Amino acid sequence: MDKRKLKRAAELIDRAGHILVFAGSGLSAESGIPTFRGEDGMYSNPDVLRYAHADALREEPEAALAWFQKMRDMIDDYEPNPGHYALARICAERDCTIATQNVDRLLESAFLREGLTKEGIWHLHGSLFRSRCDVCDEPLEEPPTDYTAAECDECGGIIRPDVTLFGEMLPEAPYLRAQGAAHVADVVLLLGTSGIVYPAATIPGLARSHGAKLIEINPNPTELSEIADVVIRGKTGEVLPEIDRLLA
Ligand code: NAD
Ligand code: ZN
């Protein structure tokens, strides 16, 4: 790891009035959750393309709901990795907006287990651990234990995970939050994201046009590398703990 770049990243974070974290599936990769486009990525799994599409809920709801149930139960078994914990420690004491494209809740778990609190972790593509009615949009306080057997108390509609499926729009509130943070952020941390899923991928460029410094942490080059001010080629589970140590 390039010590000079780590130091530069830590300095920028330390001096920042506001920090925007823009995270993607690479942040959870070291927990064991496959990324989207990696070698064993979810994109190569035909079930993902079939059931993570809005059409499946309309055309084959029972199969789609059974698949969501399987995904949620599977993802629930994973644990936060050192990158999640370090990020929680870095953000807890600082003015920081976290916008993640991930639908897991590993970052929330990391905050909780570190005994830290965070007002909001904004899920740009929703979360598998929240649910709502597919018909009237009514959110549920607790996701059902079994999606295939649940229905909406208000209208009898299907209960689905509150995630953005292919063919659907992003939820407005998290996107507006991330855009707002992009206007005021001094530093943006680009963590484990390829930067090719739109419209989320417009956020880093927006922040940069408002003067933010971009720090990319990713073992591979991405669409965002060119506009990043500091590029650290490494895994978030290894780099973020180093930065956290420098900040301590
Ligand atoms: P992506 O698959 O397009 O890109 C993943 C990026 O992570 C790549 O650039 C890769 O080089 C990098 N990466 C891999 N291992 C890493 C590590 N250990 N440390 C740091 N970086 C690492 O993912 P994306 O940009 O998040 O976009 C894909 C979409 O897929 C997102 O919208 C997200 O909603 C969804 N998704 C979510 C999860 C999850 O919730 N954990 C998992 C897969 C896909
Ligand atoms: Zn309903």
Contacts of 234 by beta carbon, 8 Å cutoff, 6+ apart: 1, 217, 219
- Measured CA to CA, the distance from residue 80 to residue 25 in angstroms comes to 13
Residue 40 has pLDDT above 90, yes or no: no
Residue 204 sits in the same domain as residue 215: yes
Residues 134 and 90 in one domain: no
| Cα–Cα dist 20/5, whole Å | 19
pLDDT at 143: 85
Q: Verify whether residue 53 is a known catalytic residue.
A: no
| Total length of the chain | 248
Asked whether residue 84 falls in the same domain as residue 185, the answer is yes
Q: Read off the pLDDT of each residue in 210-219 and give the average, rounded to a whole number.
A: 98
Residues 140 and 214 in one domain: no
- pLDDT above 90: residue 241: yes
Tell me: do 210 and 143 sit in the same domain.
Answer: no
Structure tokens at 168: 């659907």
Average confidence (pLDDT) over 68-85? 93
Do 175 and 63 belong together in one domain?
A: no
Residue % of the chain over a pLDDT of 90: 80
180 and 94 co-located in one domain = yes
Find the domain containing 153 and state its range. Answer: 34-77+128-163
What's the confidence (pLDDT) of residue 36? 74
pLDDT score for 186: 98
CA–centroid distance, 150 to ligand 2, in Å, is 11
CB under 5 Å of ion ligand 2: residues: 133, 135-136, 138, 152, 154-155, 157
Task: Give the pLDDT confidence score for residue 1 in this predicted structure.
Answer: 79
pLDDT score, position 41: 65
| CATH number of the domain residue 64 falls in | 3.30.1600.10
What residue type is 199 in one-letter code? P
Residue with CA at minimum distance from ligand 1 atom 35: 102
Residue 171, phi then psi, degrees to nearest 5: -65, 145
User: What is the structure's pLDDT at 108?
Assistant: 95
Per-residue tokens: 185: 């952020």
Both 17 and 89 in a single domain? Answer: yes
Asked if residues 197 and 101 have their Cβ atoms less than 8 Å apart, the reply is yes
* 3-state SS class at 206: helix
Mean predicted confidence (pLDDT) in 30-48:
77
pLDDT tens, residue by residue, 48-64: 888 899 999 999 999 99
pLDDT tens across 126-183, in order? 999 999 999 999 999 888 888 888 999 999 999 999 999 999 999 999 999 999 999 9
Same domain, 100 and 195: yes
Both tokens assigned to 207: 């922040």
Same domain for 223 and 195? yes
| Mean pLDDT over each residue of the chain, to the nearest integer | 93
Q: Specify the pairing of strand 19-23 against strand 96-100.
A: parallel
pLDDT of residue 86: 97
In this prediction, residue 172 carries a pLDDT of 94
> Quick one: 29 and 39 in the same domain?
no
Q: What's the pLDDT at 38? A: 64
Residue 93: per-residue pLDDT: 84
Report the separation in Å between the CA atom of 177 and the middle of ligand 2, taken as the mean of its atom positions: 26
CATH of the domain at 95: 3.40.50.1220
* Binding-site residues for Zn(2+): 133, 136, 152, 155
> Which residues, including other chains, have CB under 8 Å from residue 77's CB and lie 6 or more apart?
none
**Three-state SS at 213:** strand
| Residues 100, 180 share a domain | yes
Instruction: Assess whether pLDDT exceeds 70 at residue 83.
Output: yes
Q: Nearest residue CA, atom 32 of ligand 1?
A: 101
Q: Token pair for residue 121?
A: 């972790």
Residue 85 has pLDDT above 80, yes or no: yes
Give the number of domains in the chain: 2
